Structure 1
Amino acid sequence: MRALIRRAAAGLLLAACASLQARDAAPEPNTQVPKGAAWHAPSGAPDRIVASPLQQAATGFAVAWRTDAAVRSPALEIVVAGDSPDMGSPRRLQAASTPLRTENGPAHQHRVEVDGLQPDTLYAWRVQGDRSWSAWFHTRTAAAADAPLTLLYFGDTQNKNLSLGTRVLREAMRHAPDARLALFAGDLVSGGDGEDDNEWGEWFASLGALPTSMVVAPAPGNHEYFEEFEDTPQERRVLGAHWPVVFALPGNGAPGARGTSYWFDYQDVRVAVLDGTSALDLGTARDQARWLDAVLADSPRRWSIVMVHQPMFSPRQDRDNALLREHVLPVLERRRVDLVLQGHDHVYGRRGGLRAGQATPQYLVSVAGAKQYRLSPEARATMAPVAEDTQLFQVIRIDGARLRYESRTATGRLYDAFELVREGRATRLVEQADGRIGERACGRARTLKGRADRCWE
């Protein structure tokens, strides 16, 4: 009898384990918000607070944040940070407010530009809500051009931001606690599933302290747009409602893409951000290329970075961004841009410029989020290193005539590394092979949803 009971118990245990495994293997939802819940509804307390660079980052930055619709015109307070809780009388700036209605209810998005600051100075600042204030945050302005600079670069976050994106962002901050600037190469959220605001809420939650301890500069991706009049002759791309109000970005962009392209100087690097979706789908490729050429032509900075969501050379099979190669690529090559930071294809790949032995530009494609695609045969033949099924972040350190680039996995392991060394007008590429792990490839035949063209979703 006891043997029968033990066998029955063992059978129940195996069945329970099998049930748990089946449940664990089921596709995870894109957000952690249960259906019908309003976890990310706005309130009188300020949230989604993010600092972004002004055109000249040494003398100021801009801040955006959210409250409920009852808060119409709050303020920002800022003062030079001190060691005593009594930091003196702060300067107060009134914000401009814009209404935003989402599935989580009506909100007000607030924006203020803080200028007239001192370079390389640590400032304490806070933002106002309904009869309340946020915490005091610390952000340091950009230093002199010859001072060392550390910045972060992330490919698409997009999917399962809170569940699987958080660990990448926190690992990046652990590896680069001195970072002052974070660049996001588009598709911050997935969108289009009726949970846009929940996704933005989880994107901010995944960032933790990052957007208030450094300045954030994102590029728009195709998922920041939606398709209006889909499957009709009038179908067109329309920028989502969140993008223009969630960030306070420089208003110096290209004609036709003024709110989604921009540039700024941060110490000895000029950063130009393009809107690849507008270029490909809305006919602005030529205007953005002309604008980019002018932005790069008059740059007094030693280094240049261009960020665009869609790659010049797509490492995913059956993708070809021909208009970008026709109009933008010649500018990147002629101006010898140092780094071209891209996303969109949910794999990792790096390649150099068009001429053999040319150190710059270095074209990078990376992915921080959970969605993982497969590499094309062409990418395997023309890019090195490459990776599938790998969440990554990048640390870029600039010190005088040297730029060091590192790509690290979600657990902090070194995947790719090189240095660019400026020698007069020339630039030398130095590969850094020590400590790098081997190539990673997808080991799954299909995703949990049964797709063979992807590795994970």
Structure 2
Amino acid sequence: MKSFVISICCLTVCIAPQAYAHEGHDHDSQPPTPPWQDASGWPDRIVTTIPETPQSSFAVTWRTDDEVTSSIAQIVEATDAARFDVGAEIVLGETESLNLVDVPIAKEIWKAEWNDGLAPVNYHSVVFRGLEPDTTYAYRVRGSEGNWSEWFQIQTAPEDGPVKFIYVGDAQNGVLSHWSRLIRAAYAAAPDSRFILHAGDLVNNGARDIEWASWFKAVGFIHGMIPAIPVAGNHEYRRYTRNGEESDSLLSMMWRPQFTLPEEPELPDDLQEAAYDIRYSDDIHIFILSTQNQNLQAQADWLDRELGRSDAKWKIVSMHHPIFSSGSDRDSPDRRKILLPVFEKHAVDLVLQGHDHTYARGMIGQTPERISYSDAGGDIETMFVNSVSGPKQYDFKENGWDDYADTGVQLQRKAENTQFFQIITIEDDTLTYEARTALNNLYDDFVMTKDESGHKTITRGAQSTMDERMFETSEPYIREGID
């Protein structure tokens, strides 16, 4: 969480507003403000994140109106006692003011017109430090004097041992109306998850307050208890206007105030809290990229260095744009050219992506090549997944991943017209992956093992018996009517 000032800006003539919404819907118009959007003296939009060592710390960020100028929280180790809160420690944090309409860019004020009429707000953050590994803590945060949130419970990361987490692709549209059921189903299926990874496009317009209000209402208490690892997608970037001109596409002014994320001193300012890494345990290292940012080579160089330094058994990369596209006319050859060699050089285990509003899973380095997705056996270098959690769905790429055959990648499972969440469990030398529908039906799965030399094998093929879900073989799909 850092003060938001953009220092670099390219100007173009503003001919028409950039289209972020699907056909027939103006997502930039300002509807009546619902009561749960307005900031007040009570803390809301409470979200935990992992900006530092997860075994001994975590962060919490929340919002109030601009009259609350102090950031105060309490924390205590949770017990079975009814008054577990006796002896809770007060921790002070940082407060950051955010004007939702006037955006400072290169010492000039630009407009986020879709927030017209909304008052300035304050974002607050506290980092709790000096905690014990794999321990449950209770915490709460304060707004104005006497206005405390409820107590939340959260676990610090273990030093080693099993770790389960949830991964979801784009929420983006219909976040409150349609995505809420998916994220709540994911929590119900895996309430013991240690974190939830969101692979970009959390909302449709990342600088529009009502959309974040909907996202936080859809998530509810979940991210007060389970940390978020958010990835910035293309819809978290936005253009602002001034005197008929349009700014460059920039990371939303709301991103850094509302998520307290790791900062990377080796990366440029415009990548801070957008590209970062989290060493979650001795076994697990997670790397986050911001593939909408034009400075992709700097990220590739940084990733190459950090992967080379890491001694974690399991290395996972998440980014928004897929290396291998599964959506029609959505290929990213430049991103593939820059990033794939880094993944291959370091034998990254798992690449988790979004953007294409379809489901796809496949692998590189498969030996023998092109075995059935339900079969076990064979070597593997890297598994790639594209997924979608929201209701906006696209057609699958006509040739699948055959257009990328020269890379050796093999598509194993695909789907359209389906909201998914994924549960990933890592324990010692075994990674178990499950893709599930909003009804918690198992659609895709595998088990991967890695020996001490780093050699990986698919030791259990998919157990799912669900038929392949495509538009022509599943329920009717209507894009209209998704908010």
Asked if these proteins are the same fold (TM beyond 0.5), I'd say yes
Match of 1:250 among 252, 259, 262: 262
Between the aligned partners of 2:300 and 2:249, the Cα distance in structure 1 is 20
Asked if the contact 2:365–2:380 (Cα under 8 Å) also holds between the matched residues in 1, the reply is: no
Q: Distance in 2 between matches of 1:253 and 1:323?
A: 25
Identify which of structures 1 and 2 has the higher relative contact order when contacts are C-alpha pairs closer than 8 Å and 6+ apart.
2
- TM normalised by structure 1 equals 0.86
Cα distance, 1:114 vs structure 2:
1.3
1:412 — aligned with what?
440
Taking the aligned partners of 2:72 and 2:320, their CA distance within structure 1 comes to 33
Match for 2:300 among 289, 292, 302?
289
Change (3 A) 1:371 1:27: same
Instruction: Please tell me whether the aligned partners of residues 417 and 477 of structure 2 are also in contact (alpha carbons under 8 angstroms).
Output: no
Shift of 1:266: 1.2
SS at match of 2:317: strand
Whether the aligned pair in 2 keeps the contact of 1:29 and 1:160 (CA below 8 Å) is no
Aligned to 1:276: 291
Structure 2 match to 1:5:
none
What SS does structure 2 have at the residue aligned with 1:186? coil
Inter-CA distance 229–48: structure 2 relative to 1 (3 Å threshold): closer
Partner of 2:148: 133
CA deviations on 1:163-182 (whole Å, 9 max, x unpaired) are 11111111111111211111
Matched AA of 1:375: F
- 1:155 CA drift (Å): 0.3
How far apart are 1:446 and its partner, in Å?
7.8
Residue-pair matches, total: 418
Runs of 4+ in 1 over 4 A off after TM superposition: 26-31, 232-235, 354-358, 444-450
Check whether the contact 1:55–1:263 (CA below 8 A) recurs between aligned residues.
Answer: no
- For 1:160 and 1:254, the matched residues in 2 are separated by 37
**Which ranges of structure 2 fall in alignment gaps of 5 or more residues?**
1-22, 101-114, 369-378, 403-409
Residue aligning to 1:240: 252
1:391 aligns with 2:419: yes
Deviation at 1:356, TM superposition (A): 5.1
The Cα offsets for residues 418-448 of structure 1, whole Å up to 9 and x where unpaired, read as 1110122211123433233111001389845
Give the secondary structure class of the aligned counterpart of 1:377.
coil
Any residues of structure 2 matched to 1:359-438 within 5 Å, and which?
A: 359-379=380-400, 381=402, 382-425=410-453, 426-438=455-467
Q: Secondary structure at the match of 1:174?
A: helix
Quick one: structure 1 residues 27 and 392, their matched pair in 2 at CA, closer, same or farther if it must change by over 3 Å?
A: farther
How large is the RMSD of aligned CA atoms in angstroms?
A: 2.5
Equivalent in the alignment of 1:89: 87
2: CA distance, partners of 1:448 / 1:342:
22
Q: Tell me if structure 2 keeps the 8 A contact 1:317–1:376.
A: yes
Give the Cα–Cα distance (whole angstroms) in 2 for the partners of residues 254 and 345 of structure 1: 30
For residues 65-110 of structure 1, give each alpha carbon's deviation from its aligned partner in whole angstroms, at most 9, with x where no partner exists: 0011000112111110112214332222212111123333211011
Q: Contact 1:65–1:246 at 8 Å: present in 2 too?
A: yes
Aligned equivalents of 1:390 and 1:164: distance in 2?
Answer: 12
- Relative to 1, partners in 2 of residues 1:46 and 1:229: Cα closer, same or farther, differing over 3 Å? closer
Q: CA 1:423/1:89 → structure 2, altered by over 3 Å: closer, same or farther?
A: same
The 2-side partners of 1:249 and 1:205 are apart by: 21
Whether 2:73 is the aligned partner of 1:76: answer yes
More helix by share: 1
**Structure 1 letter corresponding to 2:462:** A
2:213 is matched with which residue? 201
* 8 Å CA contact 2:66, 2:122 repeated in 1: yes
Aligned to 1:11: none
Higher Rg of the two aligned structures? 1
Residues 342 and 366 of structure 1 are in contact (CA less than 8 Å); yes or no, is this contact kept in structure 2? yes
Residues 253 and 219 (structure 1), Cα distance of their counterparts in 2 relative to 1, 3 Å cut: farther
Compute the displacement of 1:258 (Å): 2.1
8 Å CA contact 2:366, 2:381 repeated in 1: no
Q: What is the distance in 1 between the residues matched to 2:356 and 2:330? A: 9
Q: 1:248 to 1:99 in 2, by over 3 A?
A: same
Letter in 1 for 2:47: V
| 1:35 pairs with one of 32, 36, 42 | 32
CA distance in 1, matches of 2:459, 2:467: 19
Aligned pair 1:261/2:289, yes or no?
no
**Residue 228 of structure 1: how far off its partner (Å):** 4.2
Change (3 A) 1:330 1:299: same
Match of 1:150 in 2: 164
Residue among 179, 186, 198 paired with 1:172: 186
CA distance in 2, matches of 1:445, 1:120: 45
Shift of 1:234: 7.1
Match of 1:124 in 2: 138
Report percent identity of matched pairs. 35
Asked whether 1:211 is paired with 2:223, we answer yes
Deviation at 1:325, TM superposition (A): 1.2
Q: Where in structure 1 are there 5+ consecutive unaligned residues?
A: 1-25, 451-455
Summarize the Cα distance change of 1:354–1:420 in structure 2 as closer, same or farther, 3 Å threshold.
closer
Amino acid at match of 2:469: R
State the 1:29 CA deviation. Answer: 8.8
Deviations 1:202-254 (A, max 9, x none): 11111122101111110000101113469x99762111111011111111265
